[in-house]
Amino acid sequence: QVQLVESGGGLVQAGGSLRLSCAASGRTVSIYAVGWVRQVPGKEREFVAAISRNDVLKYYAESVKGRFTISRDNAKNTVYLQMGSLKPEDTAVYYCAAGVSRIHSPSMVAYYDYWGHGTQVTVSS
């Protein structure tokens, strides 16, 4: 099993920045990719960004390209999502998720096997 704990959410004004962290524990050697997925109440979960284990591959949703950056510190088993130029439409609960498959695309919400509990990000206009 893998446990994921997010931190770093909060309230920020439009145009501001936030950095989310996702700390992984447990059987982390099995993880191939870690991603961020967000959800607004009443809507389906939406893929945001993902990074492969060896940092070679990074994926971004079109809506966040150029504004968000995903990175990882393997020594700390932590993945970060640096969010900049935030917009009110970025308001959501952000979930960290991890997947083990090396075949399927981490840019799909269905890819992920493990999920954190989420952290709220609110962007005020």
* In the predicted structure, residue 54 carries a pLDDT above the cut 90: no
Tokens of residue 35, six digits: 């991603």
At position 40, the amino acid (one-letter code) is V
123, 91 in Cβ contact below 8 A?
Answer: yes
* In the predicted structure, residue 78 carries a pLDDT above the cut 90: yes
* In the predicted structure, residue 56 carries a pLDDT above the cut 90: no
Residue with the larger pLDDT of the pair 56 and 104: 104
Q: What is the CA radius of gyration of the chain?
A: 13
* In the predicted structure, residue 20 carries a pLDDT above the cut 90: yes
**How many CB atoms lie under 10 A from the CB of residue 52?**
17
Identify the pLDDT of residue 45.
97
* In the predicted structure, residue 98 carries a pLDDT above the cut 90: yes
**How many CB atoms lie under 10 A from the CB of residue 60?**
19
% the chain with pLDDT above 90? 96
Mean pLDDT for the chain overall: 96
**How many CB atoms lie under 10 A from the CB of residue 100?**
16
CA distance 20 to 18: 7
CA distance 32 to 119: 22
What mean pLDDT do residues 5-14 have?
97
Q: Edge-to-edge, what's the strand order for the sheet holding 68-73?
A: 2-7, 18-26, 78-83, 68-73
Confidence band for 95, pLDDT divided at 50, 70 and 90 = very high
% the chain with pLDDT above 70? 100
Identify the pLDDT of residue 49.
98
